[in-house]
Amino acid sequence: MEIKKPCNVYEELREDLSYMHVAELKKTLESFRLFSKAFNKEELIDRLVHFAATGKELAPKKIPAISKAQRGVVYLLAPQTLMLEGAYKNDYVTRQFFKTLIGPHFHYTAWGIDWLREKWLSGTPPTYAQFAYVWKAEYERNKQHKRAPKQEWAYIRFVQAYMQWAPHAAREEVHAAWEVERKKHVAKAQAMLTALRF
């Protein structure tokens, strides 16, 4: 089974960290007295790689006030309503609303949530109609060129590669192989980060 090799030591560290569980990443950040709350696994990995490369803490990403819902204001589900952090919900009612804008094939995607968060962070929250337009375009693009799993989704990437290499492997075999691979990468990441203490 062949997996693409990283180009430099920090890319290699990022790859190794992607095999850690979120709880392990948080514990590692805390061991360096670094901020360990984050939106997702990618942000936790970014902080550790930045610290390894610079010796400095990477400030947590903050969503500006313009992208946040105001307290006491009711935000209706409507095409021209802004999707604001604190008002937007990733729930059944919102999913049904998106189905009216997009169609019955709508489903929540990691890509869509990441895109929305980037819009919030940049201070340009989209409307529900804008999100629907972008989601539809990505859905059509994905039919032609399926998006690769994100780097921090090491398990998914590993299983896909393993199943190409051994298409008839039993689930237990894949899981056992994953655990061996995961422990190897976690040990490498911990060794590199431990070296920073000295």
Alpha helices, DSSP H, located in the chain: 9-17, 22-31, 41-54, 92-102, 110-121, 128-144, 154-165, 171-195
Cα(183)–Cα(56) distance, integer angstroms: 27
State the average pLDDT over residues 107-111. 91
Question: What are the contacts of 165-168 at 24+ separation with CB within 8 A?
Answer: 165/1, 165/2, 166/1
3 state DSSP class of 85: strand
Q: Give the pLDDT confidence score for residue 197 in this predicted structure.
A: 61
pLDDT at residue 141 tops 60:
yes
pLDDT at residue 155 tops 80:
yes
Is the pTM here over 0.95, yes or no? no
Q: Give the pLDDT confidence score for residue 19 in this predicted structure.
A: 93
pLDDT tens digit sequence for 157-193: 888 888 989 889 888 999 999 999 999 999 999 998 9
Q: Give the pLDDT confidence score for residue 198 in this predicted structure.
A: 46
pLDDT at residue 35 tops 80:
yes
Cα(41)–Cα(151) distance, integer angstroms: 10
pLDDT at residue 57 tops 70:
yes
Mean model confidence pLDDT for the chain: 90
Residue 167 has φ and ψ, to the nearest 5°, of -60, -20
Q: Give the pLDDT confidence score for residue 39 in this predicted structure.
A: 84
Q: What confidence tier does 64 reach under pLDDT thresholds 50, 70, 90?
A: very high
Cα separations in angstroms, 194 against 30, 74, 172, 187, 189: 13, 49, 32, 10, 8
Bridge partners of 183?
Answer: none
